[in-house]
Structure 1
């Protein structure tokens, strides 16, 4: 029974991270939320998401379908409850729709706000993501779960004897390479994906996920729980951060309690603050309210949307949100909210015009032998239009 991961209001509250993707395409732990469900249920998946995203993420309806809320991560209790559903049954956690089984005709008109036939309640706690900071806050829980899911009944590949491994929760996929580095798994598991590389002098304290085809450069220091997504390159000092894929933080500088989207680049010696000087609660810009909101967190760093970049020696204040396709540079601290498709820094911003955006993305994609096609161009243009009101210089 194919899976369809649907968006609810979390798609609005998770911006800018969800401007470019369905909620279930978010990475937390080792896998994306959609990949977790598909692996547990051993089936294919598609997305029921925002109309402007459907060109890139089309929904695929079959004769029988399971709709699952894309902001909720699977666990054994949820899997048992969903397997017990009959066609037409809906599972709720408090007032939130978790899952519903629908035949083809009802699936084509699915609305998460609709009323369903038989309602079942799920009383166990669930891990869900509703705000950008939930990604790094709950990454430790999901990294441990994904580690067990991916490594159960399997044996790690052998890595070089030049490394030091402390504890037992270490797993390397085939073709993972590491030399002259230390891996401390006593505080959390360490997972090295296929074709990943850990260069000499790196020190890791788990939990860590280094996904496939990614690299950790010489002398890097990483603290858990941290996820380095596929085809990333990182260096410097990283603490409790999630990088989704095709993103580079390849030089010295600190990144902590942060989330970076895809195709981001952090310039050399750039840093983010994750703790205010007066130790007070951190606030974050909220797209859904267009105001700063309280996070309840003392430690909260940088949230950066896809395709955004910063120049060398950039200093990000505690609790900074950078939108999609922004370019930040210059001396001083940029503001705590950098609008999507903006170009500048502490001295002010101007519009990052779409012709220039396309040129940059084309160059970045070509380095990975990818092509910026019309679907991606339209997606970026749609996001540009959606975010117009946040740019005072538009």
Structure 2
């Protein structure tokens, strides 16, 4: 058998994950300590990686994954095509997919009409050269293949699905990223620094990255799940961390913070009370205020005393706006807070209602609750909105990214320009 390549692909259903996928390929979404892509690569162990990306995010995907082939199949080799929305957790679905490369014949794996994966030996010889450039990749790959149904496969469909997968992902990722339990006490782990006055419970479930620092009076309680601190994370004085949690490299957990069931990407600042939330990376929620059952994109900033409601007064299920359908849908969840796209900001004392969707590159300010759907590139608040000028949005993005030693590339500018133009009708409808 020739080398097995893993191809993660985007299908038409990724639009249901807006606004989080407006600025990234779906497999770059963070589940917990790892992204969908990282989780899949660890599960399948491919010899090569191919990424299928929508045209609008193809260039930023190339920049983010320079070692992977983007929208190009390998010259020779067998390919396991896997839906980028698939969560590679334990179960029968994963077993079927990991055993697929032992087959000599091609096969499709589906769930409720959605292609979860396809095993295609000698794919480059059997598939059209431009198959990865076609929007309907799923139909091109799966046509005329024998089918296996995967009843237990998990495919993300909406942003709030990340809340359902968060705690299981944090448990899996602690083992995958940090390894087995550690028996040494925190103060004896010489690769990190823990003040002797810090309090810890179930220390074997607490994992410290190189250069991590735990300041005086901090409390880390891993009784209900592991706590993983990435490299150079700082947990400041009197912060309380209840597992499961993962804090990405260089993240600052602020003084007096109250954290539970939290995952952050790289270089975040996080404080106040945060409960069951994902920060994709490079975002700030550094001040008092509550953030619960929420997902923030990258390069977001929440002003001081920003609060999100995550529970309705009648304790009913929360609805949220689905931009791909242009209507509110039932999340099926009793708890759902804020879902914010990349590069969006809000001013001090902002209040978000349950199930609020904020698109990418929004600047929100003023009193009262903003609408429960704010389209991309909106400027204003409850009293009304206008379009956030593209040139100004790009200038702010470049300035903010520079503060985290990250260049604002031509690919970033082209993506934001395309997104601005693509969402003009949404702004016209919702700003009126």
- Normalised by the shorter chain, which TM-score bucket? over 0.9
On the 8 A contact 2:106/2:146 being kept in 1, the answer is: no
Give the Å deviation of 1:6: 0.8
Q: Separation in 1 of the partners of 2:400 and 2:36?
A: 26
- Report which of the two has the higher share of helix: 2
2:37 counterpart (30, 34, 45): 34
1:176 counterpart (186, 203, 212): 212
Q: Which residue does 1:83 correspond to in 2? A: 98
Q: Separation in 1 of the partners of 2:392 and 2:175?
A: 44
Q: 1:107 to 1:229 in 2, by over 3 A?
A: farther
Mark the runs of 5 or more structure 1 residues left unpaired by the alignment.
Answer: none
Q: Which residue does 1:322 correspond to in 2? A: 358
Q: Which residue does 1:92 correspond to in 2? A: 110
Q: Separation in 2 of the partners of 1:122 and 1:194?
A: 41
Give the Å deviation of 1:193: 0.9
1:238 counterpart (252, 270, 274): 274
1:30-109 superposed matches below 5 A: 30-43=33-46, 44-57=48-61, 58-62=70-74, 63-64=76-77, 65-76=79-90, 77-85=92-100, 86=103, 88-102=106-120, 103-105=123-125, 106=127, 108=129, 109=131
1:1-394 superposed matches below 5 A: 1-43=4-46, 44-57=48-61, 58-62=70-74, 63-64=76-77, 65-76=79-90, 77-85=92-100, 86=103, 88-102=106-120, 103-105=123-125, 106=127, 108=129, 109-110=131-132, 111-114=137-140, 115-123=142-150, 125-153=152-180, 155=182, 158=189, 159-160=193-194, 161-167=196-202, 168-179=204-215, 180-224=217-261, 226-392=262-428, 393=431
Give the Å deviation of 1:28: 0.6
Moved more, 126-135 or 345-354: 126-135
Give the Å deviation of 1:42: 3.0
Q: Separation in 1 of the partners of 2:304 and 2:417?
A: 30
Question: TM-score w.r.t. structure 1 length?
Answer: 0.94
Moved more, 18-27 or 274-283: 274-283
Give the Å deviation of 1:79: 4.1
Q: Separation in 1 of the partners of 2:164 and 2:320?
A: 14
Could you say what the CA RMSD is over the residues aligned between the two structures, in angstroms?
Answer: 1.9
On the 8 A contact 1:5/1:47 being kept in 2, the answer is: yes
Q: Separation in 2 of the partners of 1:41 and 1:162?
A: 43
Q: Separation in 1 of the partners of 2:86 and 2:313?
A: 34
Q: Separation in 2 of the partners of 1:176 and 1:212?
A: 9
Question: TM-score w.r.t. structure 2 length?
Answer: 0.86
Aligned length: 393
Q: Separation in 1 of the partners of 2:322 and 2:181?
A: 42
Q: Separation in 1 of the partners of 2:333 and 2:227?
A: 26
Moved more, 377-386 or 37-46: 37-46
Give the Å deviation of 1:49: 2.1
